[in-house]
Every structure is written in C-alpha cells, then in structure tokens.
C-alpha cells in the first residue's frame, strides 16, 4: 500500500506553519485522534527528539513513541513511530506560495505493522486515517489562520 497524501494551503508564512507543525505538543489541537502528547527526555525539537503520543482508534487507545528523523526548517520533517503494533511514519513538507505569505503543507502518512497491527492497519487504522487526514488539515488551517 502507498502512503496517504493530503495537502492544504494556509495563509501563513512557511516559518510559522513549520514551527507549529513540528511542535508535537500541538498535535491534540489539530489532530482528531491525538489524545495526549508528552516529551520523552529533554531533547529540543529537532532530529532525535521523541514524544509519546496516545491516539484513539475506535474504542482502542494506542500509545506510540515517535522520533523526529528529519528536521529541515522551514521546509520538511519526518517523524517515525518506533514502538507498538502500529507505527506511523509521517513526512511533511511546507512550501512557500506566491510572495511567501502563504504556504502549502503536504503530509504523507504510512504505517508499519507488527503482531496484532498486521490486522489493525488494513481494517481499522488506514481507513480511519484516510478519513481523518482531510479534517485534520482543515483544523490546522483554521487554527493557524486565526492566530495573530
């Protein structure tokens, strides 16, 4: 299966968008399934930084540790799940549009499955994520465009 790809245009500068996107503490604000995020260790945002994310998928709560594997402000980042039966892999790009006062955000999401995840990913996780991603990007747009 290929990655789920979703893009949205946001009326904010790429630096603002990138900063918000890569601050994992904001995940529950704009991602429907993200219930809680907490840092693992005291590493600043950047390559090697880890966070513990708890997501709700149906009736199931799924904790996962994510690690920042790529960090190229304000252009791109990659976060990879490193534990659990379902490991999300997110690659994000932020491109300037026009005079640089607007941005296009593109998120590619894919999954790696282990154990029970081999059943959960195709039946629950991937369909849920495919439905949720456009809503999440709209939330992201609404939040960022409403900020001063």
pLDDT digit of tens for each residue in the chain (148 aa)? 579 999 999 999 999 999 999 999 999 999 999 999 999 998 889 999 999 999 998 888 989 999 999 999 999 999 999 999 999 999 999 999 999 999 999 999 999 999 998 998 999 899 999 999 999 999 999 999 998 8
The pLDDT score that the predictor gives to residue 54 is: 96
CATH of the domain at 110: 3.30.530.20
The pLDDT score that the predictor gives to residue 1 is: 58
Contact 51, 37 (CB under 8 A): yes
Domain around 98: 4-146
Domain count, the chain: 1
All residues at 6 or more sequence positions from 148 whose CB lies less than 8 Å from its CB, including other chains: none
């Amino acid at each position: 299966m290929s990655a789920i790809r979703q893009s949205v245009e946001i009326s904010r500068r790429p630096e603002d968008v990138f900063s918000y996107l890569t601050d994992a503490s904001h995940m529950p604000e704009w991602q429907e399934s993200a219930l809680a995020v907490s840092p693992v260790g005291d590493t600043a945002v950047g390559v090697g930084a880890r966070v513990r994310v708890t997501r709700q998928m149906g009736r199931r709560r799924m904790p996962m540790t994510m690690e920042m594997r790529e960090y190229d402000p304000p252009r791109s980042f990659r976060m990879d799940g490193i534990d659990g039966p379902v490991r999300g892999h997110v690659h994000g790009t932020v491109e300037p549009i026009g005079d640089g006062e607007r941005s296009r955000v593109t998120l590619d999401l894919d999954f790696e499955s282990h154990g029970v995840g081999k059943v959960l990913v195709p039946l629950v996780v991937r369909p849920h994520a495919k439905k949720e991603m456009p809503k999440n990007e709209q939330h992201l747009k609404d939040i960022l465009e409403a900020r001063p």
